Amino acid sequence: MFSHLCGKNSLLSSIPNFTKRFICKSRPMANSRFDYVRNFEQNDSILPNCWIVVRIDGKAFHKFTQKHDFNKPNDDNGLNLMSYAAVQVLKEFNEIVLAFGQSDEYSFIFHKTADVYSRRASKIVTCVNSLFTSSYVFHWGKFFEEKQLLYPPSFDARIVLYPSDENLRDYLSWRQADTHINNLYNTVFWKLVLEGGRTNTEAQKDLSGTYSSDKNEILFSRFGINYNNLPQMYRKGTILLRKNVEVPKLNGYQTQLIVPFFTDLIQDKFWIEHPEILTKDKSQNYELDDEQLNHPIMQKQFDIVHKRKNNNK
Ligand SMILES: Nc1nc2c(ncn2[C@@H]2O[C@H](COP(=O)(O)OP(=O)(O)OP(=O)(O)O)[C@@H](O)[C@H]2O)c(=O)[nH]1
Ligand SMILES: [Mg+2]
């Protein structure tokens, strides 16, 4: 609309840049009698200096995972697709210092100093959720080559503030403890149903009122499974952190990537080993272990770096 005024050879070309920016970007003056409705919009800026947690959770994923024939109780491709969708969110929002995922949920932790969208709650929660959801759909075929996506999945999302580092650590410990409780239950439940000849209702009854030790015992004595030997990803969930890592086959080239960890975050050890989460210092140099090197979400990030490097040649 203002191009004749603001173009390269326009009348304004001799005016200083900051003045031009003002003239070209300022809106026309309020001239509609409907303008007052903007005053109904609420300011939903959240408190400063608090950790911001956005948690997304799959809507009716008991049905979604059934319709898409996910392995029970854990489907590696499904869990890795969740993590790869989360990687896209971390790449977009550089103030996220950690993400934690399990089952159909992911929590994203923005550093307490984050200034994302001037800390407007609905803007943050909706943008994180929609990027996560669209990434889940967009990258589906990379994880399920043979399986068609039958209908569009959706996720709910909430935003929660934690005023202290201790509260934040307790939040993450709560999610990780929940991962263990659910996974132990689901592992025994599906063993009883799929291999123990019990119906869903019978298995549910078998497990009602049992303690962890009872479930471990059923797994060991009836199915020869030592729960502690099951993959850490199932028992502890997936933690995503930013790290400077060496990209294989590039002569020692290092770059920042999003690395999955399958480890305990309840004890102090994790927080001592990764101090940058709380301090928001620069990402540390990190040497990937074999599990991380071969993990699909690392492999996909390496492919992107390789492509970028090849295109620059
Ligand atoms: N088979 C299988 N199911 C999974 C997997 N991950 C998540 N699920 C299913 O997803 C459900 C997630 O639990 P909830 O979030 O409490 O249940 P929901 O059905 O999504 O319900 P709402 O979140 O309330 O909409 C689990 O109970 C499982 O049924 C997986 O790897 N394999
Ligand atoms: Mg759910």
Q: If you take atom 19 of ligand 1, which residue's CA is the nearest one? A: 60
- d(CA 104, ligand 1 centre) in Å: 6
With a CB cutoff of 8 Å and minimum separation 6, the contacts of 134 are none
Strand order from edge to edge, sheet including 51-58: 155-162, 51-58, 105-110, 96-102, 238-246, 254-261
Mutate to test the pocket of ligand 1, among 104, 105, 189, 233 (most ligand atoms within 8 A of CB): 104
150 or 27, greater pLDDT: 150
pLDDT of residue 13: 47
Hey, what are 296's tokens?
């699909």
Report the top-level CATH class of 48-313. alpha beta
| Residue 58 Cβ < 6 Å to ligand 1 | yes
Q: What is the position in ligand 1's atom list of the atom closest to the CA of 72?
A: 1
Residue 262 has pLDDT above 80, yes or no: yes
Instruction: Band the pLDDT of 235: cuts 50, 70, 90.
Output: very high
Q: What is the position in ligand 1's atom list of the atom closest to the CA of 63?
A: 19
Hey, what are 239's tokens?
């933690």
3-state helix, strand and coil shares in percent for the chain, rounded to the nearest 5: 50, 15, 35
Hey, what are 250's tokens?
């590039």
Domain ranges of the chain: 1-27, 48-313
Which helix or strand (DSSP H or E) is residue 110 part of? strand 105-110
93-140 pLDDT, tens digit per residue, is 999 999 999 999 999 999 999 999 999 999 999 999 999 999 999 999
pLDDT of residue 44: 97
173-228 pLDDT, tens digit per residue, is 999 999 999 999 999 999 999 999 999 999 999 999 999 999 999 999 999 999 99
| Residue 61 Cβ < 6 Å to ligand 1 | yes
| Torsions phi, psi for 41 (to 5 deg) | -70, 140
Residue 104 CA, chain-centre distance (Å), reads 10
Instruction: Band the pLDDT of 5: cuts 50, 70, 90.
Output: very low
